[in-house]
A = this chain, B = another copy of it.
Amino acid sequence: MDYIKVSICQINSIIGDLKNNIKKIIDFANNCKDSDFIVFPELSISGYPPEDLLFKKHFIEDCKKTLKLNLNKFPSDSFILIGHPDFNKNDEVVNRLSIILNGKIISQYDKINLPNYSVFDEKRYFKEGDSIKSIWWDKINFSFNICEDIWVEDNLITASKKLFLSDIIFNISASPYHINKHEERIKIFSKYTKENNCILVYCNLVGGQDELIFDGNSFVLKGDEIIAKGKSFEEDIVDVYINVKELFKEYEYSEFEIEKFNKIKKTAAIKVNKPYKMNKPKKNICNVNIHSEEEEIFEALKLAVKDYVHKNGFKKVIVGISGGIDSALTATICTLSLGKENVVGISMPSHFTSSETKSDARILAENLGIEFYEIPIANIFQTYLNQLEPYFKDLPFNVAEENLQARIRGNILMAFSNKFGYLVITTGNKSELTVGYATIYGDMAGGFALLKDVPKMLVYKIAKFINKKYKKEIIPNSTIERAPSAELRPNQKDEDSLVPYPLLDKFLKLFIEEDKDLNYFDFLNEKDLKKLIRLVYINEYKRRQAPVGPKITKRAFGKDRRYPITNHYNEIYYR
């Protein structure tokens, strides 16, 4: 026998949808009947991350049952690798990988390295495993582990190779996306596979789950060579043909030798017989469907919004289209992701809305071919002002009246949402949210904040990318070129209140994403720096009430960044 076939099934599972998840797993597996190995992602039965559902004993029992009742539905004579939550023998919850062969679980591995940083809370839920596992099949040795286990310095690729001389190491993951994450993975893991001269089969989840996007991008590394790769941001089956002859050791492992391994503390090994399935290899395929960073982010956002909308039972979305760049990009991505028949745009002009922005809103909607309404807010605004006049008297127009306009718009969008069942997609970007340049219960009102983690300058880049990709002016150039304005008072320009966006974005990267100290902010004068830092801290209460939105950077607002609202710390005040 020369070749074995491995099928990596990068599926999109849904949290808690146990019956449909297992159905999908079985369907995928049965499309891979001639494979020796069929591999599914981390926690694919429950979806990832199930969060506090894991505290429910009956939830774990239901996951167990889901697997148990379906063991005999997998193809015969294939090793099935699958992740699911389970109880260990002390009744503690573990993040487990089970290997199924011919209707039986033949080995189980519990994740040892539990991430508890960034968006991860795994030490909240799981007991870490206590042993490394390995299987000998004929002359091939393979080991298996879960996600974080190969990210750490002292990792299980190296350990498996050293301990068992593993030829093939399987890692099942639910590894969330950020920009260039795939390249990061290859860089880190290939260092270990090269050093240890082994094969890594990496199976990653795909799909959007609240703030997280799983990018798929499964792959097989042989040394530092990528010999197969799955699609980005799509479900996929990656079939890989591995020449095992060149891996064969000189001899088969004897029972005696395996016993020896099992005496080493923290390891467990078994020997398994099953026929080889594959004789005629095909060419391995590297699916490369992404060609630039902008395209990567664009595809990530399309997947994020599609999954949030559909998995939450919505069909249509509604977007407040102002004529500005953020709402234009939001409506465009929604349309390209969900279809024009599923996007409704509403423009809600006020006295302060310029004729250019008003017209840009209409043109965008026409370009997208979406349902579009224009609902002026002047009458409603005036009625509020009349009602408030006895109390506000002749106090000057200020943020109260500015925010009121944004909140009227929020109410109109929510009224459409409640009346017709549309999900409101909010349009604010990361730069605004960093400094609180957004109205809570106004433009922040909605179910999903698509650009929440996209800084303003990147908003422009992606807008330009889309026009270029589709070879037409979908997003009006006048929208791209006009100076950004909230248009809540006469002649308002964002950059009058804030610093220029290129500087703001540089600030946010260093301050929010990288926790840099004051020495890194020479490009801002002290007054602006003071102002920005203060704005970041005092606006925590707004971010806390913001809708979720997809993480695309190394540190997103949301569970990736946990800050006190009540907080007197300020880098500058302390100096």
What residues make up the interface of A, taking CB atoms closer than 8 Å to B? 14-20, 47, 49-53, 55-59, 62, 116-117, 121, 123-124, 208-210, 307-308, 311-312, 373, 375-377, 379-380, 383-384, 386-388, 391-392, 395, 398-401, 403-404, 407-408, 410-412, 414-419, 440-441, 445, 447, 515, 517-518, 541, 544-548, 559, 561-571, 574
Complex: A539 Cα to B562 Cα, angstroms: 22
A388: nearest chain-B partner, CB-CB: B415
Which B residues lie within 8 Å of A308 (CB)?
566
A375: nearest chain-B partner, CB-CB: B387
Q: Is the CB of A210 within 8 A of B565?
A: yes
Complex: A116 Cα to B515 Cα, angstroms: 23
A52-B561, A58-B517 known, 4 other contacts, Cβ within 8 Å: A124-B562, A307-B566, A375-B388, A404-B418
Q: Is the CB of A548 within 8 A of B565?
A: yes
* Residue in contact with A400 in the complex, picked from B53, B395, B415, B561, CB distance below 8 Å: B415
Q: A58-B571, A121-B562, A387-B379 are in contact. Are A411 and B404 (CB under 8 A)?
A: yes
* Residue in contact with A116 in the complex, picked from B123, B388, B566, B568, CB distance below 8 Å: B123
Complex: A377 Cα to B117 Cα, angstroms: 47
Determine how many copies of this chain the complex contains.
2
Which B residues lie within 8 Å of A563 (CB)?
51-53
Q: A546-B545, A574-B62 are in contact. Are A210 and B16 (CB under 8 A)?
A: no
* Residue in contact with A441 in the complex, picked from B58, B445, B562, B570, CB distance below 8 Å: B445
A515: nearest chain-B partner, CB-CB: B56
Q: Is the CB of A380 within 8 A of B387?
A: yes
Q: Is the CB of A566 within 8 A of B311?
A: yes
Complex: A153 Cα to B376 Cα, angstroms: 64
Complex: A354 Cα to B260 Cα, angstroms: 82
Complex: A375 Cα to B387 Cα, angstroms: 7
Q: Is the CB of A399 within 8 A of B380?
A: no
Complex: A307 Cα to B568 Cα, angstroms: 13
Q: A383-B380, A414-B407 are in contact. Are A569 and B375 (CB under 8 A)?
A: no
Which B residues lie within 8 Å of A375 (CB)?
387-388, 391
A375 → chain B closest CB, angstroms: 6
Complex: A316 Cα to B548 Cα, angstroms: 31
Q: Is the CB of A403 within 8 A of B386?
A: no
Q: Is the CB of A568 within 8 A of B380?
A: no
Q: Is the CB of B51 within 8 A of A562?
A: yes
A19: nearest chain-B partner, CB-CB: B574
Which B residues lie within 8 Å of A121 (CB)?
116, 121, 124, 562
A381: nearest chain-B partner, CB-CB: B383
Which B residues lie within 8 Å of A392 (CB)?
415, 419
Q: A59-B569, A380-B383, A414-B407 are in contact. Are A564 and B117 (CB under 8 A)?
A: no
Which B residues lie within 8 Å of A49 (CB)?
564
Q: Is the CB of B415 within 8 A of A568?
A: no
Which B residues lie within 8 Å of A17 (CB)?
568-569
Q: Is the CB of B57 within 8 A of A568?
A: no
A-B contact pairs, 23 of them (CB 8 A): A15-B567, A16-B567, A17-B569, A18-B574, A52-B562, A53-B569, A116-B116, A121-B124, A208-B566, A210-B564, A210-B565, A210-B566, A311-B568, A379-B383, A380-B384, A384-B411, A391-B416, A395-B419, A403-B414, A404-B414, A414-B441, A440-B445, A544-B548
Q: Is the CB of B15 within 8 A of A53?
A: no
* Residue in contact with A564 in the complex, picked from B15, B388, B404, B541, CB distance below 8 Å: B15
Which B residues lie within 8 Å of A209 (CB)?
564, 566
* Residue in contact with A14 in the complex, picked from B403, B419, B566, CB distance below 8 Å: B566
Which B residues lie within 8 Å of A545 (CB)?
545-547
| Chain B CB within 10 Å, residue with most, of A55, A383, A400, A410 | A383
Q: Is the CB of A411 within 8 A of B441?
A: yes
A427 → chain B closest CB, angstroms: 16
Q: A58-B571, A380-B384, A561-B52 are in contact. Are A411 and B408 (CB under 8 A)?
A: yes
Q: Is the CB of B16 within 8 A of A384?
A: no
Q: Is the CB of A441 within 8 A of B410?
A: yes
A535 → chain B closest CB, angstroms: 14
Which B residues lie within 8 Å of A546 (CB)?
545
Which B residues lie within 8 Å of A377 (CB)?
387
A118 → chain B closest CB, angstroms: 9
Complex: A387 Cα to B415 Cα, angstroms: 11
Complex: A209 Cα to B565 Cα, angstroms: 8
Which B residues lie within 8 Å of A567 (CB)?
15-16, 53
A522 → chain B closest CB, angstroms: 16
A569: nearest chain-B partner, CB-CB: B16
A17: nearest chain-B partner, CB-CB: B568
Complex: A377 Cα to B383 Cα, angstroms: 10
4 tightest A-B contacts by CB?
Answer: A16-B569, A17-B568, A400-B418, A400-B419
Complex: A330 Cα to B573 Cα, angstroms: 35
Q: Is the CB of B391 within 8 A of A418?
A: no
Q: Is the CB of B515 within 8 A of A564?
A: no
Complex: A350 Cα to B547 Cα, angstroms: 29
